Amino acid sequence: MDFLVVPTIRFKVLHVFIILSHARREVVHFNVTTNPTAEWTARQIAEAFLWDTAPKYILRDRDSIFGNTFRQRVQSMGIEEVLTAFRSPWQNASSLFKILS
């Protein structure tokens, strides 16, 4: 799970939230916003895993966008968060997906 930044032709910045399945190498969920918040991100995780389909673990970096609201939602869904090491960009989910592809 990670955020990607995409500039538009009108010089605006879009934030793309993406959840990838490493086992099947497929996109599980994605959405786009101009202003990501912890509440918005928590809603995305709930929309991605409906009807008790949540994974056992989810890999994420230490970005501040994953605030208390997000962590509480993930915990309530029974998902264990696996955090990347501090200041280790090579460990983030996007980099791992590129390596596995």
CATH number of domain containing 54: 3.30.420.10
Q: Cα separation of 49 and 14, whole Å?
A: 23
What would the pLDDT profile of 8-33 be if each residue is shown by its tens digit?
999 999 999 999 987 778 999 999 99
Total-model pTM = 0.76
- How far CA 80 is from CA of 7, 13, 57, 59, 101, in Å, comes to 32, 31, 5, 9, 24
Q: Cα separation of 78 and 54, whole Å?
A: 8
Instruction: Going residue by residue through the chain, which has 101 residues, state the pLDDT in tens, using 9 for 90 and above.
Output: 889 999 999 999 999 999 998 777 899 999 999 999 999 999 999 999 987 888 888 888 888 888 899 999 999 999 999 888 776 666 655 554 444 44
Full domain range(s) for residue 28: 2-100
Taking only Cα atoms into account, the Rg of the chain, rounded to an integer number of angstroms, comes to 13
Number of structural domains found in the chain: 1
